[in-house]
């Protein structure tokens, strides 16, 4: 008699465990440097603007402009008037020009030198502004020439102003008659030219101040 087969025991069900979540990497405490575009880096690395150098360029250009205006106004100061001669009622045409006075000639020469000097120094100062640190020895000598030119221009302005004052007021003690009551246009040109030259002297004084201040900043403390 065949024996009855015993049924096989059911296999235990496998419990599928959910996959373990991947551990998140620990947060880094270091600050990641943001990537900066090269053009922004170039702007950030650019040296700061030297406002004293900019002011120096502007002042040297003003010196050039004032010197040219003073020379042109003085050179064009010419007027011809009918002046009575010793035998009345005859009159003679007598012109008044700047080259009739040595002081005015010296004035034109001094302001012409100032204009030429200002052209050269303006270009050098502008080049030094575009490329900081270039030719420091040349720029350091500007203060010497600025002081010399200030003396020359101030002396020319004073000499021309003295002659112009005599022409305006005369001198009763020496018997010098005033001439501006006759040559009015000539005296207006001379006075305007001397006023512009005085402005050029002030500009030169400011340039000397800026040059000395710039040199004092470079002295190690």
**What pLDDT digit, counting tens, does each position of 95-114 carry?**
788 888 899 999 999 999 99
What confidence score (pLDDT) does residue 160 get?
Answer: 93
- The residues, any chain, with a CB within 8 Å of residue 203's CB and separated by 6 or more, are 59, 62, 63, 66
- Whole-number Å distance between alpha carbons of 89 and 209: 59
Judged by average pLDDT, the poorest of 82-91, 125-134, 159-168 is 82-91
Phi then psi for residue 134, to 5 deg, are: -85, 150
- Cα–Cα distance measured from residue 146 to residue 213, given in angstroms and rounded to the nearest whole number: 14
Average pLDDT over residues 157-183: 86
Model confidence at 29: pLDDT above 70: no
Is 90 exceeded by the pLDDT of residue 62? yes
Pairing of strands 79-84, 91-96: antiparallel
Residue 159 reports pLDDT greater than 80: yes
From the list 156, 129, 148, 137, the residue with the least C-alpha distance to 55 is: 129
**Res 201: pLDDT:** 94
The pLDDT of residue 43 is 45
Return the pLDDT at 101. 87
pLDDT-wise least confident of 53-67, 80-94, 155-169: 80-94
Return the bridge partners of 155, or none.
none
Residue 42 vs residue 173, higher pLDDT: 173
- Total-model pTM: 0.71
* 91 within 8 A of 82, measured Cβ to Cβ: yes
Q: pLDDT at position 44, please?
A: 46
């Amino acid at each position: 008699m065949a024996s009855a087969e015993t049924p096989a025991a059911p296999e235990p069900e496998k419990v599928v465990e959910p996959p373990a979540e991947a551990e998140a990497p620990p947060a880094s405490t270091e600050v990641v440097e943001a990537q900066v575009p090269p053009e922004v880096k170039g702007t950030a690395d650019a040296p700061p603007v030297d406002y004293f150098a900019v002011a120096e360029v502007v002042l040297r250009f003003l010196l050039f402009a004032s010197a040219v205006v003073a020379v042109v106004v003085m050179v064009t100061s010419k007027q011809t008037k009918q002046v009575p001669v010793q035998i009345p009622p005859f009159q003679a045409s007598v012109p008044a020009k700047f080259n009739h006075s040595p002081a005015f000639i010296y004035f034109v020469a001094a302001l012409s030198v100032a204009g030429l000097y200002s052209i050269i120094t303006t270009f050098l100062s502008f080049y030094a502004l575009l490329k900081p640190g270039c030719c420091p020895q040349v720029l350091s000598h500007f203060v010497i020439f600025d002081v010399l030119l200030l003396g020359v221009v101030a002396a020319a302005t004073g000499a021309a102003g003295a002659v112009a004052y005599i022409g305006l007021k005369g001198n009763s003690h020496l018997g010098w008659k005033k001439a501006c009551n006759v040559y009015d246009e000539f005296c207006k040109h001379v006075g305007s030219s001397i006023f512009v030259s005085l402005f050029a002297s002030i500009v030169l004084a400011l340039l000397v101040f800026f040059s000395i201040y710039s040199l004092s900043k470079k002295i190690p403390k």
